[in-house]
Amino acid sequence: MDTQDIQYSPKDFKSPQIVRWCPGCGDHAVLNCLHKAMAEIGVAPHNTAVISGIGCSSRLPYYMNTYGFHTIHGRGAAIATGVKTANPELSVWLSTGDGDCLAIGGNHFIHAVRRNVDINIILMNNKIYGLTKGQYSPTSDRGFISKSSPYGTVEDPFRPAELTIGARGRFFARAIDVDLKNTPDIMIAAAKHRGTSVIEVLLNCVIFNDGIYDSVISKEFRAEKTIVLRHGEKMVFGENNDKGLVWEGFTLKAVTIGQNGYTLDNILVHDMHTEDPTLHLKLALMDGETLPVALGVIRDVEAEVYDVEVEKQIAEVQAKNPTRTLKDFLMKGEVWEVK
C-alpha cells in the first residue's frame, strides 16, 4: 500500500450522497473519523476500497469517495479478502456491525482474522439489530429485553475482543463513537498494521438501544470507567490520573496511587507488541464494573500476512513454470494438428 505525496483533506474522501442514518446515530461519528483518518493516512481515494455487508453500518461505502462494495449479509469479510488478495495494492476497509459480523458473518470474520488478511475491520457494536428494527444481537447482554426477546435473552453474548484474539488476531483496538479526538488515531494505527486489524466501536443506537453505554462512556463517568491505553505508557486513569492497573496474582486490579502502599512504580506499562495475548485479552475484557473499559490499541503484533504470502507463492510458481498464457497451457504436452 503506497501513500502519495499529495496532501489530502477529509472532504477528498466524502461522497456527494446524502447520509441516511438517524440523527444522533453513532455511525455519523465513525464516518467523520474515517474521513479524517484517511486524509492523514494519505492513500489516494482511487487506491482505497470500502466493503460492507448488510445493516446500518453497512451503508457507509455510499458516503465514501472511494471504491465501494455493498455486499450481502455477513459476507463482507469474505469479499474484502477477495478484493485484497486480487489487488494487494488497494487499502481495503470493512464496515460492519455486531449482527452482520458476528451472527451470519461469524465464520467469515474469524477466518479473515485467522488468515491475517491485510484488511481493516471497523466493527460497530450497538448490541442491537438496528436496520431490522430492534431484535437482540450476538452482543446483547443476557436478560436484554427486545422485540425478539420480550422476556429477556437467555444467552451469553459474544465479546468481540475474545473472539478476535481467540481466532489468533494480531490487532485489536477499541473506540467509542463520541471520542472524535482519539478514534482517527486508532484508525491510522490500524491502517499501518500489516494484517487484519479489528476496531470495535462502542456505538449508540438512538432509536432501539439508546444509552446502552451511558454508564461507562457518558461525561459523568468516562474518566473513572474507561482507560485509554498507549504503548509504553503507564496504565493510569481517573479524573486526576490517580488510579492505575496492577497485577494481583493472575488477575488485574485497579488501585489508587498513593494508597495502601501503591506508587506509580507499581502500575503496569502497556506493551501492545508482546506476542503473548494473555494480558491483552485481560485488558480487552475489562467491563467497566470493577475495572475500567480499555480504549485505544490493545494489541498490535506483526505476523505473516495472507495476501502477501499468496502473491509471493504465485511469483515462485510462475518462476518455475514457463507456461504464461492459456494458449501455452493448452498447447503443452501431447498435441496434434487435424488437417
The pLDDT, as a whole number, for residue 322 is: 79
Assign residue 199 the CATH number of its domain.
Answer: 3.40.50.970
Mean pLDDT score of the chain:
95
What angle (nearest 5°) sits at the alpha carbon of residue 271, between those of residues 29 and 277? Answer: 90
Q: How far apart are CA 213 and CA 129, in angstroms?
A: 16
DSSP 176: E
The answer as to whether 3 is a domain residue is: no
Q: Would you state the pLDDT for residue 93?
A: 98
Supply the DSSP symbol for 66. Answer: S
The mean pLDDT of 76-105, rounded to a whole number, is 97
For 155-165, what is each residue's pLDDT tens digit?
999 999 999 99
Q: What is the DSSP letter of 238?
A: S
Q: Is residue 143 in a domain?
A: yes
User: Identity (one letter) of the amino acid at 134?
Assistant: G
In the predicted model, is pLDDT for residue 333 greater than 80?
Answer: no
Place of cell 518455475: 320
Whole-number pLDDT of residue 1: 55
Does residue 178 form part of some domain?
yes
Confidence label for 296 from pLDDT (cuts 50, 70 and 90): very high
120-125/91-97 β-pairing:
parallel
Answer yes or no: is 259 within a domain: no
119 touches 195 (CB < 8 A): no
Q: Given CA atoms 253, 257, 258, 263 in this order, what sign does their dihedral have?
A: positive
Q: What is the mean pLDDT of residues 36-55?
A: 97
Looking at per-residue pLDDT, the higher value among 335 and 70 belongs to 70
Q: Cβ of 288: how many Cβ atoms within 10 Å? A: 18
Residues of the domain holding 100 = 10-212
211: CB partners within 8 A, 6+ apart:
204
**pLDDT of residue 327 exceeding 80:** yes
Report if residue 288 sits inside a domain: no
What number of other Cβ atoms are within 10 A of residue 97's Cβ? 32
Determine the distance from the C-alpha atom of residue 244 to the mean position of all C-alpha atoms in its chain, rounded to a whole number: 26
Res. 2: pLDDT tops 80 = no
Measured CA to CA, the distance from residue 123 to residue 278 in angstroms comes to 22
C-alpha cell at 158: 459474544
Domain annotation covers residue 208? yes
Q: Residue 63 pLDDT > 90, yes or no?
A: yes
Global pTM reads 0.94
Judged against a pLDDT cut of 70, whether residue 136 lies above it is answered with yes
Report the number of distinct structural domains present in the chain: 1
Q: What is the pLDDT of residue 3?
A: 57
The per-residue pLDDT for 4 is: 58
With beta carbons less than 8 A apart as the criterion, state whether 85 and 307 touch. yes
319/217 Cα distance (integer angstroms): 55
What is the mean pLDDT of the segment spanning 167-184? 97
pLDDT in tens, 184-206: 999 999 999 999 999 999 999 99
Contact 297, 192 (CB under 8 A): no
Q: What is the pLDDT of residues 85-97, one digit of tens each?
A: 999 999 999 999 9
Statement: residue 307 has pLDDT above 80: yes
pLDDT for 326 beyond 90: no
User: Which pLDDT score, from 0 to 100, does residue 336 have?
Assistant: 78
Mean pLDDT of 288-313: 97
DSSP tally for the chain: helices H, then strands E: 11, 11
pLDDT of 153 above 80: yes
- The angle at the Cα of 293, spanning 287 to 250, to the nearest 5 degrees, equals 70
Is residue 249 one of the residues assigned to a domain?
no
**200 lies in some domain:** yes
Taking alpha carbons only, the member of 200, 214, 208, 209 closest to residue 299 is 200
Could you tell me the pLDDT band of residue 324, with boundaries at 50, 70 and 90? Answer: confident
